[in-house]
């Protein structure tokens, strides 16, 4: 049984940084892409970033604008999302997901397992 547990969210001010972590257990972590998605109240879940199984390739949503960085440590079965220069519009529940593919897909349907989410709140 694959389990994903996110951590690192919190309440910060605009311009601050956060580092989200997602620890995976069960299955074989290193052969699948990992992704981060977010969902704000009243909005649909949207893609944020993804990373290939070996970490060599990444993909980002256009709104990231160079502020976020996704990375992974296959030895620790963990994927990270560094959030810099946070804006109030980044406020959302952030979810990590394990893909069914090895490349950094931006499509929700390419992800099978999801974590419970970690809340990021950015005040102005």
Q: Is the pLDDT confidence value at 27 over 90? A: no
Q: What pLDDT digit, counting tens, does each position of 29-63 carry?
A: 999 999 999 999 999 999 999 999 999 999 999 99
Name the residue among 81, 121, 102, 94 with its Cα closest to residue 38: 94
Phi, psi of 29 (to 5 degrees): -65, -40
Residue 80 contacts residue 70 (beta carbons within 8 Å): yes
Average pLDDT score over the chain:
97
Residue 122 contacts residue 90 (beta carbons within 8 Å): yes
Q: Is the pLDDT confidence value at 6 over 90? A: yes
């Amino acid at each position: 049984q694959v389990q994903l547990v996110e951590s690192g969210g919190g309440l910060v001010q605009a311009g601050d940084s956060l580092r989200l972590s997602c620890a995976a257990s069960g299955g074989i972590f290193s052969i699948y892409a990992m992704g981060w998605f977010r969902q704000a109240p009243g909005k649909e879940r949207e893609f944020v970033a993804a990373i290939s199984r070996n970490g060599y390739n990444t993909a980002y949503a256009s709104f990231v604008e160079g502020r976020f960085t996704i990375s992974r440590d296959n030895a620790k079965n963990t994927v990270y999302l560094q959030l810099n220069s946070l804006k109030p519009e980044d406020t959302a529940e952030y979810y990590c997901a394990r893909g069914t593919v090895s490349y950094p897909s931006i499509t929700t349907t390419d992800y099978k397992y999801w974590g419970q989410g970690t809340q990021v709140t950015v005040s102005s």
